[in-house]
Amino acid sequence: MKEHYFPLDNIRVLELGTLIAGPFAGRLLGDFGAEVIKIEPPDKQDPMRLWGQQKDGQGLQWPIQSRNKKSITLNLRESEGQGIFKQLVEKADVIIENFRPGTMEKWGLSYEVLSAINPGIIMVRTSGFGQTGPYKERAGFGSVGEAMGGLRYVTGFADRPPSRIGISIGDSLAAIFATLGCLTAIYERTRSGKGQVVDTAIYESVFSVMESIIPDYLLVDYVRERMGNVLPGIAPSNIYLTKDGTYIVIGANADGVFKRLCEAMNRPELAEDERYKSHQTRGVNLEELDKIIEQWTKTLSAEESLAILAEKGVPSGLIYSAKEMIQDPQFQAREMIVNVEHDTFGEFPMPGVVPKLSRTPGGIRFPGSTKVGQHNEEVYGSLLNLTKAQLDQLNSKGIV
């Protein structure tokens, strides 16, 4: 194995969160080698263990979300459990939590308390609305963050109510920003020697990717509305029906690419037509341009049209479900579906590591734990030198 194959293998993470936003950040750090210790209450497992489709009584999202993580139990509601957590903090670099703000403080585990124990500790805090402001104590799931961050308002078709995207995108965006903040804090610590709080709000993570909706409104009084499969002023960029009843995606909104699309359709004159020759005019005449393009795609099968578009260098593709993904050679070449040996399921397919690093690519060392507290003896024994007898006693008291 290459030297420094896992670039974060000197980083130890204590993950306290549940469901998606916090644990997804832990997964990303674990993919690149961080030792992630997943902490669950002894009497209440992470609901993600049972979320989504199930096989043999286990949720199929769990092995992905908890991959590369060790599982321990600890009751943070009890003073003895809080004391043990403080001992773990002494030996850690990062804490990830996504409880409602004030929960850690209620347990006597505020950043001020923990940083006094370990000045280099970085606390990654993800919540619906952040650690400050009038809404900080509100419960805030990803769906609420997507709504208040502006994403739900522009998602769907104009004649229907706001829709959701088919995944928990708000939580995932928050996790990605939280990971960015965590890595930034780790880098800064190399200069200052000090940790800090990374405060990530779900609604802000969504809002951060909402492009120019605020200046559009404040400067030109324009409110972006739901437009289905198109973006306002961006054309052509839509789905188009083919002869065999399949929809394909074509994105040709840049001037040069649009010229190549016109050549592919044997309509080179469209590139010089005043209605379509510039980005601005194509945006104004979006609907009629889409009709022209679909008239062409309907004369060809999806395979035929995509072959022509690929030859001309026009971005295009099928709309994939899982079935198409597992058959696609690009997914295979980039190792985007990786089979990992699982205790219950055997070969378990999961998404590969993103992004691709040329020298220190990281990887999936093991899937998520099948049992809550599976690594209690390993972690408590190696980090805190607790014996099996001591763990048994803590277990009998409901601490681990």
| Cα torsion through 40, 41, 44, 48, rounded to 10 | -10
Residues 80 and 25 in one domain: yes
Residue 130 lies in a domain: yes
Is 31 in the active site?
A: no
Residue 217 lies in a domain: no
Residues 127 and 55 in one domain: yes
Residues 286 and 248 in one domain: yes
How many domains would you assign to the chain? 2
**Residue 129 belongs to what domain range?**
12-209+333-396
Percent of the chain with pLDDT over 70: 99
Residue 230 lies in a domain: no
The pLDDT tens digits for 196-211 are 999 999 999 999 999 9
Residues 99 and 53 in one domain: yes
**Mean pLDDT value of segment 328-345:** 96
pLDDT of residue 178: 98
Q: DSSP character for 221?
A: -
- Where a domain ends, among 319, 346, 371? 319
- The span from the CA of 336 to the CA of 324, in Å, is 13
If pLDDT is split at 50, 70 and 90, which confidence band does 52 have? confident
Residues 280 and 304 in one domain: yes
Helix axes 255-264, 302-311, angle to 10 degrees: 130
- Where a domain ends, among 256, 285, 319? 319
The pLDDT tens digits for 62-92 are 999 999 999 999 999 999 999 999 999 999 9
Residues 21 and 153 in one domain: yes
The pLDDT tens digits for 12-21 are 999 998 999 9
Residue 1 in this model has a pLDDT that exceeds 50: no
**Mean pLDDT value of segment 358-386:** 95
Residues 54 and 152 in one domain: yes
Which one from 31, 46, 93, 171 is the annotated catalytic residue? 171
Residue 1 lies in a domain: no
At 89, give phi and psi (nearest 5°).
-60, -35
Residue 326 lies in a domain: no
Residue 219 lies in a domain: no
**Mean pLDDT value of segment 139-162:** 95
Nearest CA among 396, 359, 304 for reference residue 3 = 359
Residue 306 in this model has a pLDDT that exceeds 70: yes
Q: What is the CATH number of the domain that holds 62?
A: 3.40.50.10540
**Mean pLDDT value of segment 141-168:** 95
Residues 246 and 392 in one domain: no
pTM score: 0.94
Residues 248 and 198 in one domain: no
**Mean pLDDT value of segment 256-279:** 96
Residue 308 lies in a domain: yes
Residues 157 and 98 in one domain: yes
CB 207 within 8 A of CB 150: yes
pLDDT of residue 232: 85
Q: What is the CATH number of the domain that holds 303?
A: 3.30.1540.10
Residues 290 and 349 in one domain: no
pLDDT of residue 4: 59
Residue 3 in this model has a pLDDT that exceeds 80: no
- Where a domain ends, among 264, 296, 319? 319
In this structure, the number of other CB atoms found within 10 A of the CB of residue 287 comes to 10
Residues 23 and 91 in one domain: yes
The pLDDT tens digits for 214-262 are 999 999 999 999 999 998 889 999 999 999 999 999 999 999 999 999 9
CA pseudo-torsion sign 317, 322, 323, 329: positive
